[in-house]
Structures are given as structure tokens and as C-alpha cells.
Amino acid sequence: MSDFIKLHTFNTFITIKHYLVGPPRPSWDLKFHLLWATLKSSSEVFHTKTIEQIQKNTSYPRPAPAGVTINEFKINNEYRHEAQVHIDKILKPYEHVLDTEWKDLKDDGINAEWVQVIEENNEIKKTILYFHGGGYYFCSKESHRTITGSLAERTNARVLAINYRLAPQNQFPAGLQDALAAYLYLLNPPKDAGFEPLNPKNIVITGDSAGGGLGLSLGLAIRDAGLPSCAGIIGFSPLVDLTRSTPSIQRDECVDFIPKITGCVIYAESQAYNECKEKSAALTAKIKEQNLGPKIWHDSFVKFDKRFLLYAPNECLAIPYVSPMLAESLCNLPPLLLTAGDDERMQDESIYFAHRSAEPTKYKGPSYNADKFEKSPFQTPTNTTLEIYEEMPHVFQMMDHSNTTKSYERAAEFINRVTSSLDEPLPPSSFNYVNIKGEFSPLKEHHKEVLKWEKIGIIPSFT
């Protein structure tokens, strides 16, 4: 059966189910239901595909909204070299668990693109630095043009999106190096870039899922390296806990297209997967046999004989630039806007991260890190806005819904406030539930369960 016939049959089935049985949630129209079902069907068979197939199939260009222009270019490797100096410094305590291969650049620069709406006599000063999602190992800037185009259109800002290096071919901190390189490019562009060096207070770092986690990791890296801070950071369903430790990851009531995490990653045999397994095993053996440095991981990280996730070795999962939710301190960051769906498995990560950043003395992170907060030089609470949207799955910003519109409106308002385009101060930190009508209220009781969770940063047993 051809792919076209399979797709037609699938869409017909979902359409019939939509009208006869109803959508998974009352507010979903047919278009929303079809896209959700397609994403769910695809993610459920990832384990039968090779990593290379997944990367190829998820990186196809999506059309940008009408009126949005795309200008592709390349960021020179000199910015990666500059970024490496800062990353070497902040990763010094963790170098004994890292493979140094990330420093061996295999290409001549970072593929990037400007996404913006061109209007006559309209000087755009606000800039969004955007990182796409995809678990750190799939998707691309091209696949996320629906989001980057919508942001450009709705915020009157230009968007710089990059293709950071993907795992497992490129291990942590390769992606972080590329993210920091892009930030440094904005601060000090080459003479032929077409724009003057940007004031960091006109830059808002934004991303979805893994890209949201990368943006928050970059915020920590900028803080820790002593670099000029950006104006703010937005995370759409950010992936901030690679130990997958929070309760919502396993919650049956979640209607999400992301399947439950049941253990180590498994994919069809391929060159990328086999090389990853070999390098991972060699690095683990090196760490164990040579006792190169202090233990920085929890015992639950190394109970597996395989890699838990593709992005980083198991021994690295508590590094703050891998799992920013587990950082010793989430203070002294620029203002944050974190959004998540009430029906997504990763909602607890956003909830816990938001409370830790805004109320640091009350929520100090995993038990094996809790006593380190007092020793951190970063003690000033971060202004954080959290918004949980009713009936929404993971990264609902890629789908058409009234909550999507509301989320973009809130992002535009946040950007205008933190860049001083809107002459109003940011309100105090808040944790909000947004219903289908766009009405705001305090979080529900089930959202607060994670705040009492005693196994933060501990990989579940999956039994």
C-alpha cells in the first residue's frame, strides 16, 4: 500500500471517529484532532525506525505563514570557537564524564535563518533566538517554521532559528555550544551581517520541548559564564528534566501524543545507533575504571546497561545544562514565561521548574542537591510566569486552537514587556491555569502534586 493511500485511510478513519465518537477533548476541532493523531501515530513507532530515518522524516520544511520571509545563511565557526571557551569554563566540574568529541567540528558553520515579516518603514529591534524541539535528536529549524513564522507575525520581532547539532551523532554539549554561538553572533555580528550588534536587552530566547530546555540551559550558561543577560526566556512545553522523574510522565489521564517513558531508548539498528552504544559503553567503562573525578550522578542513572536517552551519557543527566530543573540554583535568570498543556506528560517539569526559580528557598531541587543551594552565589528569585492551558497536549503552539492564539498573545505581551517595548513593568511571579475561554485562575490541585514529589531527579523504576 502506497504512503498516500495509507495516509488517506488513516485520515478517513480519524475523521469518522471524530464525528461518530468525538475528539479526545471537547474543544478539539477536526484539524486539531488529525494533527494530534498523526503525531501520536508517528511517535508510537519511533522504536521501529532507525535514528537516521527519524531525523530525515521529521526535518522536512513546513510552510511559514503568508507574508513571512525566510532568509537562510550560515553562522561562521569562529562563534563556536568563542563559545567553546565559555563552555569549557562552566563544564570544568563535569569534564570527567564528558566525551570531548563535541570540540571536533565536522562542518563549516551553523545553518541558520531569519524569519520575519517585512513591512515598509518598520524597523524591528526585538529579536527572538529560537531553538526547535525534537528530543535533541530530530526535527529542524525548517520543520518549525509554523511556530517561528507565527512568532514573527504576532510579536513584530525578527526570529533567528538555527539547526543546532543533533544527538546521537553529536553529544552534549554540542547543541549548547551552537546555541551559545548563535547568541554571541547576535551580540557581535560580522561586518557583512546586515545589522549592528544587538543590545542583549532586545533579545528573547525561545524554544519548544527540547529547544525550550536548550534555551533555559543557555540562560544558565550565560549566567554562569558572566556574559550579558538576554531580556527574557520563553519555554513552550520545555524539556528540563532528562531523568524523566516527575509523576505526569507516567500519568494515564494525559491525552498526549508523546508515549509513556518505559525505560532506555531503543531504535532499529543503524550506524548512528551502533556508534552511540559503543561510545557510551566505552565512556562508562572509562569513568568506572579510572575513577576520574567525583560522582555527580544518582545511582538510578547507572542502573541500566544502555543509554537512557540519546542526548547525553547517563552519568551526565544531573548536569544543570542537561537537566536545568536539577540545577543547584535557578535564581538570577532573566524573566521567564513557561507554558505547558494540561494534557501533556511533561507538564510537571514546567510546574516544578517555575516554582523552584520563583521560590528558591522553598523548592531546592533533588535530595542529592538540596544542600548546595545555600552555597550558590545566585540567590535572587527569578521572575517567572507559568501558564498551564486546559485540554492542550505537548507544544500545542504548532496546532490551530483558541489556546494557541492566547499563548502567542501572551508571548507577545511578555516580549514587549521585557524588551521595554511596552512601557509596563512585569507583574510578580505567578502560576496560572488558563481555560478554554482564555480565563486565568490559580493552578488546580492535581498540578500541585509534583511540588510534594520526593523523587525529583531520580529515574523511575518503570516496574
Q: Is the pLDDT of residue 463 over 60?
A: no
Selected residue with higher pLDDT from 420 and 4: 420
Residues 6+ apart with CB under 8 A from 282: none
Is 312 within a domain?
Answer: no
Is residue 4 domain-shared with residue 138, that is, in the same domain?
no
Is residue 80 domain-shared with residue 167, that is, in the same domain?
yes
- Model pLDDT, residue 462: 73
Is 58 within a domain?
Answer: no
Please report, rounded to a whole number, the percentage of residues in the chain having pLDDT higher than 70: 97
| 131: Cα within 13 Å, side-chain hemisphere | 38
Is 162 within a domain?
Answer: yes
Tens of pLDDT along 359-394? 999 998 899 987 899 999 999 999 999 999 999 999
Is residue 39 domain-shared with residue 187, that is, in the same domain?
no
Tens of pLDDT along 24-60? 999 999 999 999 999 999 999 999 999 999 999 999 9
Q: What would the 3-class secondary structure string for 330-365 be?
A: CCCCCCEEEEEECCCCCHHHHHHHHHHHHCCCCCCC
Is residue 129 domain-shared with residue 244, that is, in the same domain?
yes
In this structure, which amino acid lies at residue 201? K
Tens of pLDDT along 400-442? 999 999 999 999 999 999 998 777 889 999 999 999 999 999 9
Is residue 239 domain-shared with residue 364, that is, in the same domain?
yes
Is 295 within a domain?
Answer: no
Is residue 1 domain-shared with residue 139, that is, in the same domain?
no
- Model pLDDT, residue 260: 83
What is the rounded average pLDDT for all residues in the chain?
Answer: 93
Mean pLDDT to the nearest integer, 291-310: 87
Is residue 160 domain-shared with residue 215, that is, in the same domain?
yes
CA distance 56 to 295: 37
Is residue 39 domain-shared with residue 112, that is, in the same domain?
no
Based on the number of CB atoms within 10 Å of its own CB, is 88 exposed (0-12), middle (13-18) or buried (19 or more)? middle
Tens of pLDDT along 109-157? 999 999 999 765 556 679 999 999 999 999 999 999 999 999 999 999 9
Residue count (the chain):
463
Q: How many domains does the chain have?
A: 2
Is residue 344 domain-shared with residue 381, that is, in the same domain?
yes
Is 463 within a domain?
Answer: no
Is residue 21 domain-shared with residue 160, that is, in the same domain?
no
Q: What is the pLDDT confidence band of residue 288, given thresholds at 50, 70 and 90?
A: confident
Is residue 31 domain-shared with residue 73, that is, in the same domain?
no
Q: Provide the domain limits for residue 430.
A: 68-257+318-452
Mean pLDDT to the nearest integer, 253-265: 86
Is residue 37 domain-shared with residue 98, that is, in the same domain?
no
Is 302 within a domain?
Answer: no
Mean pLDDT to the nearest integer, 7-23: 92
Is 194 within a domain?
Answer: yes
Residue 158 maps to which CATH number? 3.40.50.1820
Mean pLDDT to the nearest integer, 203-210: 98
Q: Is the pLDDT of residue 259 over 90?
A: no
Beta carbons of 418 and 232 less than 8 angstroms apart: yes
Residues 6+ apart with CB under 8 A from 338: 212, 234, 235, 238, 350, 353, 354, 384, 385, 386, 387
Is 344 within a domain?
Answer: yes
Q: What is the pLDDT confidence band of residue 4, given thresholds at 50, 70 and 90?
A: low
Among candidates 18, 23, 140, 139, which has minimal Cα distance to 392? 23
- Model pLDDT, residue 124: 66
- Model pLDDT, residue 370: 77
